[in-house]
């Protein structure tokens, strides 16, 4: 089977399905309503006396008509397969992509580690770090979402050995759940829009860095992304009856259990249903479906409130608490105290995560308008209005969050499926135009092989840029997931200290049961997590979550009680970059061989010395590549405190003879090493004592 058969021909023509449908149509009697639609030159129908399905060879997509009488899809005769890529192959492709993310993707957000991995670890193992959001005083994180993942981790413990394996088991569960949601949406797009749009959606979702990172992330925004895919699929797929209630339930599940702001994504879809219901005179059916969905959401909310009541020992509606803090927090509160970004933040971020696809997603609405104005024969008013409904959620979400001062990459996760759909629709419109063979149109006079070359070049650039970005991110930043591996072999215990690298800590799942994560002072002046009260039984763990922890606040004000002295640390995590400057609170512990020995070190990208291209994508370290394009590296290390008797060995035999051992270690370094300067005073004091 050639590349032309598998990819190029379906992308450029998309006529295979239309032709087979047309052949099936000719054997059926057309309904009166279909006869009235014969004026549309590009539409054919697969119709029986009660069937009306419109397939457009050159129009935007395949649309399903609903009976005006009862607001239900009209039944139709079986049609030929509508998938360029079979569903099982699609599922496998998503499983591979998401599975690789679960295995290799770094944790990009410290909120993921401290707000979700740590509470899940506490439920499974009886200890962990606690953020202020889980204090009953504030209660803006739901225990229902965390508990579902903790259950997965506990079940996996029956099969796998070790906490690290539990961590990856939960990640693989998230990857599989996301793959199932992506496949469900792909199927709905192929059935109700176009197989070609479905194939393009598959390309965007499977090969984009954004979807790669979001698919296996333990974040409410990732969960909401998945439920949004199920909700959109329900609104699209009218087979077997209107599924508005199901769609409202899926969007509601994401908003209640995940992130409440994601409920806004359903607004354009609901408006369309209300307009159709009003025009068709079936508002009763619409309100019944809407009420049905609202009742389901109410039951989900009741379950969440009940679970949170057990943990907080108080009545709390967590979704409302999240909205109240972020919107009505008041002076000195709200998301802005955690940092603000310029309005261009999401443009730059989405260009990195979706490259060409993001540009296509942004031009979808203009392309739709241009198609209506200059190629009216290729679409219809109903098709245009349906298209606007489908592309509106991404524009709305992008606009709302661009206006917010506080911006984070994960805030865009719920809109990723809509971005992928917009990009697929845009490319579908472009392909429909350039595949035209009409001599009157410019594209009709361009050789077909040139069109193939152009289309495949753009797609390959987008896919390869995405893959290079993924490989670049994994190789540059996944050291925190690997550097703790020796701890299990050493059966280490004591305190693992986190200084300036506190925000990259991947969670207590990477520490042996006898070890606890602690904080030492660094230049960071905000509020760090505290600790859950250690508990052995599950009942005592649940009871402990209702206790108000000390030193918590919602103002991001530092609590000095969360630090320990470095003398209490058995192990330490630190990074070293040659161009970095040591400070009193952030010395280069990696270079301090007098007090610390390296247990495990991994390469970590030195962004300050690496060029722009090297920061954006993976670049192989080959001699033929100019040095200015090479990626520069630092070290991310797990350090162990040297034994006290080693520190006390004032003199010893070295390869330079009998001399102070610690002085020998210093002499091995270059004169400009910061450790030399810090050691000068110590040398003077020790010499005076002798």
Within a domain: 344: yes
Average pLDDT over residues 291-313: 97
In this predicted structure, what is the pLDDT of residue 62? 41
Within a domain: 300: yes
In this predicted structure, what is the pLDDT of residue 488? 84
Torsion of CA 517, 522, 523, 524, to 10 degrees: 20
| 422, 551: one domain | no
Average pLDDT over residues 65-76: 45
User: CB count, 10 Å around CB of 59?
Assistant: 25
User: CB count, 10 Å around CB of 270?
Assistant: 18
Within a domain: 624: yes
In this predicted structure, what is the pLDDT of residue 374? 81
| 430, 495: one domain | no
Average pLDDT over residues 327-350: 90
- Given a cut of 90, whether residue 395 has pLDDT beyond it is yes
Q: How confident is the model at residue 677 (pLDDT cuts 50, 70, 90)?
A: very low
Rg (CA), the chain: 29
| 153, 264: one domain | yes
- Given a cut of 50, whether residue 58 has pLDDT beyond it is no
pTM for the model stands at 0.84
| 369, 512: one domain | no
| 409, 322: one domain | yes
In this predicted structure, what is the pLDDT of residue 386? 86
Name residues whose C-beta falls within 8 Å of residue 65's C-beta, 6 or more positions apart in sequence: 52, 53, 54, 74
Tens digit of pLDDT for each residue in 349-375?
A: 999 999 999 999 999 999 999 888 887
In this predicted structure, what is the pLDDT of residue 240? 64
Average pLDDT over residues 13-19: 41
| 227, 350: one domain | yes
Residue ranges making up the domain that contains 557: 487-641
| 499, 574: one domain | yes
Within a domain: 448: no
User: CB count, 10 Å around CB of 3?
Assistant: 10
Among 419, 435, 451, give the residue marking a domain's end.
435
Tens digit of pLDDT for each residue in 600-647?
A: 999 999 999 999 999 999 999 898 999 999 999 999 999 999 986 444
Among 372, 402, 435, give the residue marking a domain's end.
435
Within a domain: 649: no
| 193, 326: one domain | yes
Within a domain: 477: no
In this predicted structure, what is the pLDDT of residue 656? 41
Average pLDDT over residues 190-199: 93
| 276, 400: one domain | yes
Tens digit of pLDDT for each residue in 240-275?
A: 667 899 999 999 999 999 999 999 999 999 999 999
Distance CA 168, CA 153 (A): 9
Among 400, 417, 435, give the residue marking a domain's end.
435
Within a domain: 380: yes
| 284, 419: one domain | yes
Tens digit of pLDDT for each residue in 540-568?
A: 999 999 999 999 999 999 999 999 999 99
| 380, 526: one domain | no
Distance CA 164, CA 20 (A): 52
Tell me how many domains the chain contains. Answer: 2
- Given a cut of 50, whether residue 4 has pLDDT beyond it is no
Distance CA 311, CA 512 (A): 26
In this predicted structure, what is the pLDDT of residue 681? 36
Structure tokens belonging to residue 64: 């399903």
Within a domain: 144: yes
Tens digit of pLDDT for each residue in 39-50?
A: 333 333 333 333
| 348, 241: one domain | yes
């Amino acid at each position: 089977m050639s590349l032309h058969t598998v990819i190029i021909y379906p992308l450029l023509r998309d006529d295979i399905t239309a032709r087979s449908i047309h052949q099936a149509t000719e054997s059926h009697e057309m309904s009166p309503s279909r006869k009235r639609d014969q004026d549309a030159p590009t539409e054919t129908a697969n119709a029986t006396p009660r069937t009306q399905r419109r397939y457009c060879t050159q129009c935007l997509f395949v649309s399903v008509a609903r009976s005006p009488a009862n607001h239900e899809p009209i039944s139709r005769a079986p049609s030929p397969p509508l998938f360029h890529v079979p569903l099982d192959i699609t599922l496998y492709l998503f499983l591979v992509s998401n599975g690789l993310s679960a295995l290799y993707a770094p944790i990009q957000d410290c909120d993921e580690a401290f707000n979700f991995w740590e509470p899940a670890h506490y439920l499974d193992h009886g200890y962990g770090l606690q953020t202020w959001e889980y204090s009953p005083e504030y209660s803006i994180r739901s225990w229902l979402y965390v508990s579902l993942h903790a259950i997965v981790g506990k079940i996996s413990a029956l099969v796998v050995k070790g906490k690290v394996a539990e961590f990856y088991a939960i990640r693989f569960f998230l990857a599989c759940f996301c793959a199932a949601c992506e496949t469900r949406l792909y199927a709905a797009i192929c059935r109700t829009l176009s197989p070609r749009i479905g194939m393009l959606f598959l390309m965007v979702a499977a090969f984009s860095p954004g979807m790669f990172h979001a698919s296996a992330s333990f974040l409410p925004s990732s969960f909401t992304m998945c439920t949004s895919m199920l909700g959109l699929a329900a609104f699209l797929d009218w087979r077997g009856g209107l599924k508005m209630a199901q769609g409202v339930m899926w969007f509601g599940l994401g908003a209640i259990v995940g992130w409440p702001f994601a409920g806004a994504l359903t607004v354009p879809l609901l408006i369309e249903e209300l307009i159709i219901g009003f025009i068709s005179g079936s508002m009763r059916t619409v309100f019944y479906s809407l009420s049905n969905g609202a009742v389901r959401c109410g039951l989900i909310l009741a379950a969440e409130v009940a679970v949170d009541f057990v943990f907080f020992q108080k009545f709390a509606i967590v979704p409302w608490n999240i909205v109240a803090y972020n919107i009505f927090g008041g002076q000195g509160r709200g998301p802005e105290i955690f940092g603000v970004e310029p309005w261009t933040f999401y443009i730059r971020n989405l260009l990195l995560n979706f490259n060409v696809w993001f540009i296509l997603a942004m031009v979808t609405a203009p392309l739709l308008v241009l198609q209506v104005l200059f190629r009216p024969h290729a679409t219809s008013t109903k098709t245009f209005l349906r298209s606007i409904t489908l592309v509106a959620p991404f524009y709305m979400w992008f606009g709302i969050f661009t206006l917010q001062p506080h911006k984070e990459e994960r805030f865009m996760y719920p809109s990723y499926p809509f971005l992928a759909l917009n990009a697929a629709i845009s490319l579908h419109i472009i392909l429909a135009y350039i595949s035209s063979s009409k001599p009157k149109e410019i594209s009709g006079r361009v050789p077909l092989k040139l069109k193939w070359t152009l289309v495949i070049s753009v797609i390959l650039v987008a896919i390869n840029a995405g893959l290079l970005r993924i490989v670049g991110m994994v190789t540059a930043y996944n050291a925190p997931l690997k550097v703790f591996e020796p701890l299990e072999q050493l059966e280490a215990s004591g305190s693992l200290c986190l200084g300036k690298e506190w925000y990259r800590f991947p969670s207590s799942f990477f520490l042996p049961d006898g070890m606890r994560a602690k904080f030492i002072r660094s230049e960071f002046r905000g509020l760090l997590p505290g600790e859950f009260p250690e508990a052995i039984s599950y009942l005592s763990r649940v009871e402990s979550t209702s206790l108000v922890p000390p030193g918590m606040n919602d103002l991001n004000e530092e609590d000095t009680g969360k630090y320990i002295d470095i003398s209490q640390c058995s192990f330490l995590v630190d990074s070293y970059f040659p161009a970095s400057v040591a400070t009193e609170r952030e010395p280069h512990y990696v270079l301090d061989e007098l007090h610390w020995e390296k247990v495990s070190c991994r390469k970590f990208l030195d962004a300050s010395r690496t060029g722009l291209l090297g920061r954006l994508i993976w670049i192989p370290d080959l001699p033929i590549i100019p040095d200015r394009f090479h990626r520069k590296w630092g070290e991310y290390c797990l350090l162990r405190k040297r034994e006290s008797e080693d520190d006390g060995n004032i003199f010893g035999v070295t390869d330079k003879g009998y001399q102070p051992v610690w002085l020998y270690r210093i002499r091995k370094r270059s004169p400009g090493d910061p450790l030399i300067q810090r050691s000068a005073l110590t040398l003077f004091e020790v010499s005076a004592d002798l």
